[in-house]
Amino acid sequence: MEKIFVSGGNKLKGKVRIDSAKNSVLPIIASSILTSDTIIIKNAPMLNDVQVICELLKSLGCNISINKIKGEISIDSSKVQEIEPSGELVRRMRASFLVMGPMLARFGKFKISLPGGCNIGTRPIDLHLKGLKALGAEISTEGGVVEVRCNKLKGNKIYLDFPSVGATENIMMASTTAKGVTVLENAAEEPEIEDLANFLNKMGAKIYGAGTDTIIIEGVDRLKGVEYIPIFDRIEAGTFMIAAAITKSKITLENAREYYMKPLVAKLREMGVEITSIEDNVIEVNGNVQLKPVDIKTLPHPGFPTDMQSQIMALLATVKGTSVITETIFENRFMHVSELNRMGCKIKIEGRSAIIEGVEELSGCEVKATDLRAGAALIIAGLVAKGETIVDDIYHIDRGYVNIEEKFRNLGAKVYRREV
Ligand code: UD1
């Protein structure tokens, strides 16, 4: 079993190049099913979740080649068939469910097990299904398997009760080739939605307004093969910004744009962190300043991202004073609190809020990554903890960070992966 070992106490310096976004590349890979031409994804992040969705597409008959060195994925969906993917694969990742919209659009029927993913709440799929139903699909659920059927999907007006990222993507993908116009209101506004729409539009779709709360999709007859580079990973970029802040260091992020990170950048600036965009996609972060506590509430974009909640909690746990974080997106996303407390943090949970009393020193110990971003938070805490922090269950971290230990080492930290 592999674990990550972090020896605390080193400052960071230098540059880190941010990979493409996991949450963008997954729906992009899923939507390659919409065409029988070849899709080429460049600068693709070689993550475990990417591996899983590629395996899933292969199991449906896609021909996929992955060039890890060039970071290129080529997907030929011409031979894809309407088969039920293995439940084991689907349960490994919630984003597996993103193949439903494209498969339904292409074959008019599809069956898939209920999805899995990070253990951070119940994460139902009712909004995905409600949207597909509004496009004309008949839906039945039995024994943990969902079956969707339709003759030809037809555009409709859909209002999402909550701006779910996955539901917005599934509905957007499904309606690209539907008959007529779809108007999706209260849609999620995350940058990855805009990126997916840019990709689909390059394929020939007619999508307007992605990145706002109203998306209009005019159905087209067919989509074509394209090459595409997904947007940078704002969550990876944010993780390194926070690492600079906790270690009081100055680092440079390459391939990251402040524009897409406004909610995090605003909070870090409020705390005192100096963040400067020195070029269009180069950001300098200076954490060698006196930091102040802040209160945070996670919200759909453009609110503070839930995917940054655990990392900023690790930072606030070292900032003198009291901070409060309220989690409104997922009901069970405080599992990292007990692990951070094992390292000497003083965090109490009260309902959906965590009350954080900043402490002067953290101490390294053995801790468990309870989900993907929680794992990153433990590495961040380990960077300043006295002694050694050993992070277990790092398969969660590998779902969403490319070579995290190497990137930290290149910045001067002592972060190693070892087989034990
Ligand atoms: C995506 C991201 C994930 C991020 C999350 C919120 C990907 C691959 N994953 O996940 O990293 O943490 O957005 O920003 O892009 N909900 C329902 N019914 C539904 C769908 C969702 O009630 O049909 C609820 C969920 O339980 C959750 C909330 O809506 O409480 C947000 O979920 P959603 O935006 O759908 O997140 P994901 O797409 O799963």
Q: Whose CA is nearest to atom 29 of ligand 1?
A: 164
Q: Whose CA is nearest to atom 20 of ligand 1?
A: 125
Q: Which atom of ligand 1 is nearest to the CA of 23?
A: 15
Q: Which atom of ligand 1 is nearest to the CA of 49?
A: 8
Residue 419 Cα, ligand 1 centroid: separation in angstroms? 33
Q: Is the pLDDT of residue 118 over 60?
A: no
Q: How far is residue 53's CA from residue 57's CA, in Å, rounded to a whole number?
A: 6
Residue 290 Cα, ligand 1 centroid: separation in angstroms? 35
Q: Whose CA is nearest to atom 35 of ligand 1?
A: 164
**What burial letters (b/e) apply to 376-413, b meaning 16+ CB within 10 Å?**
bbbbbbbbbbeeebbbbbbebbbbbbbebbebbeebeb
Residue percentage of the chain with pLDDT more than 70: 98
Q: How far is residue 41's CA from residue 26's CA, in Å, rounded to a whole number?
A: 11
The reported pLDDT for the residue numbered 199 is 98
Is the CB of 135 inside a 6 Å radius of any atom of ligand 1? no
Residue 326 Cα, ligand 1 centroid: separation in angstroms? 17
Reading the block at residue 246, the tokens are 């906790």
pTM: 0.97
Residue with tokens 């097990």: 113
Q: Is the pLDDT of residue 122 over 90?
A: no
Q: Is the pLDDT of residue 120 over 60?
A: no
Q: How far is residue 237's CA from residue 223's CA, in Å, rounded to a whole number?
A: 32
What is the radius of gyration, based on Cα positions, of the chain? 21
Contacts for 350 with CB less than 8 Å, ≥ 6 apart:
none
54, 118, 150, 345: the catalytic one is: 118
- Give the CATH class of 24-220: alpha beta
Q: Tell me the torsion sign for CA atoms 402, 6, 268, 371.
A: positive
Q: 2-16+233-419 and 24-220 share one CATH topology? A: yes
Q: Which atom of ligand 1 is nearest to the CA of 129?
A: 23
Q: How far is residue 345's CA from residue 93's CA, in Å, rounded to a whole number?
A: 31
CB 207 within 8 A of CB 217: yes
Q: Is 150 a catalytic residue?
A: no
Is the CB of 125 inside a 6 Å radius of any atom of ligand 1? yes
Binding site: which residues? 22-23, 94, 123-127, 307, 329
Contacts for 391 with CB less than 8 Å, ≥ 6 apart:
3, 4, 5, 6, 367, 368, 369, 375, 378, 379, 382, 397
Exposed / middle / buried, residue 128 (Cβ in 10 Å: 0-12, 13-18, 19+): buried
Q: Whose CA is nearest to atom 32 of ligand 1?
A: 164
Average pLDDT (34-46) is 97
Q: What is the pLDDT of residues 147-203, one digit of tens each?
A: 999 999 999 999 999 999 999 999 999 999 999 999 999 999 999 999 999 999 999
The reported pLDDT for the residue numbered 141 is 87
The reported pLDDT for the residue numbered 283 is 98
Average pLDDT (79-95) is 89
The reported pLDDT for the residue numbered 412 is 98
Is the CB of 164 inside a 6 Å radius of any atom of ligand 1? yes
pLDDT band at 93 (very low <50, low <70, confident <90, very high): confident
Residue 163 Cα, ligand 1 centroid: separation in angstroms? 9
**CATH superfamily to which 2-16+233-419 belongs:** Enolpyruvate transferase domain (3.65.10.10)
Q: Is the pLDDT of residue 119 over 70?
A: no
Residue 188 Cα, ligand 1 centroid: separation in angstroms? 10
Residue 165 Cα, ligand 1 centroid: separation in angstroms? 5
Domain boundaries, the chain: 2-16+233-419, 24-220
Q: Whose CA is nearest to atom 26 of ligand 1?
A: 123
Q: Is the pLDDT of residue 123 over 70?
A: no
The backbone torsions φ and ψ at residue 12, rounded to the nearest 5 degrees and listed phi first, read -100, 150
Taking alpha carbons only, the member of 174, 315, 181 closest to residue 239 is 315
pLDDT band at 309 (very low <50, low <70, confident <90, very high): very high
Is the CB of 120 inside a 6 Å radius of any atom of ligand 1? no
Is the CB of 26 inside a 6 Å radius of any atom of ligand 1? yes
Q: What is the pLDDT of residues 359-384, one digit of tens each?
A: 999 999 999 999 999 999 999 999 99
Residue 326 β-bridge partners? 297, 353
Is the CB of 94 inside a 6 Å radius of any atom of ligand 1? yes
Q: How far is residue 262's CA from residue 75's CA, in Å, rounded to a whole number?
A: 33
Neighbour tally for 365: CB within 10 Å: 15
pLDDT band at 17 (very low <50, low <70, confident <90, very high): very high
